[in-house]
Amino acid sequence: MKVSELINEELVVTNLEVDNQEKVFKILFEKLFKNGYVKESFLQGIVNREKSFPTGLLLGENNVAIPHTDAEHVLKPSIAVATLAKPVMFKNMANPEEEIPVKIVFMLALNSPHSQVEMLQQLVSLFQNENILKQILDAKGGDEVIEVIKKCNINN
């Protein structure tokens, strides 16, 4: 399974203007919930998990966060994406004492780790490609974000 197979247009929001993490969580959760990908308990799961194990990834110019939670809250695997108009602070996964400005949020709804290995590997290689992250940030809408990610799949 590829990253592009788990994202669709209705799960992407570009240039989102919010001033804190919880608002991003709520907006992405609502997209997942409304479209039947997660249970109502997913949001609380995300919030709790982020508190004990933050998911900000310090990559350099364009940092990302990958909020996710236990499989029991997920109905169908999928990924919701938000690009942020201005960065939102997340705690660094590697060092929770540190806050980092995040520009792209990938909310992962995963229910079985082993079938999603390929997808997760792709996602990580995407994070390591500054050029792709920049293209995602520059995208004007969900369709453009998906185009960039699809192109990235082909290149891998």
Return the number of the residue (31 or 73) whose C-beta is nearest other proteins: 73
Tell the smallest beta-carbon distance from residue 143 to other proteins (Å). 26
Give yes or no for residue 1 binding other proteins (CB under 8 A).
no
Return the number of the residue (36 or 53) whose C-beta is nearest other proteins: 53
* CA nearest to 133, candidates 96, 81, 90, 79: 81
Among residues 5, 124, 140, 156, the one that binds other proteins under rule CB under 8 A: 124
Q: How far is CA 103 from the centre of its chain?
A: 10
**Residue 38, by phi and psi: left (phi above 0), alpha (psi -120 to 50) or beta?**
beta
**Which residues sit opposite 79 in a β-bridge?**
108
Give yes or no for residue 110 binding other proteins (CB under 8 A).
yes
How many Cα atoms sit within 13 Å of 96 on the Cβ side? 7
Site residues, other proteins (CB under 8 A): 49, 52-53, 55, 57-59, 66, 68-71, 93-96, 108, 110, 113-114, 116-117, 120-121, 124, 127-128
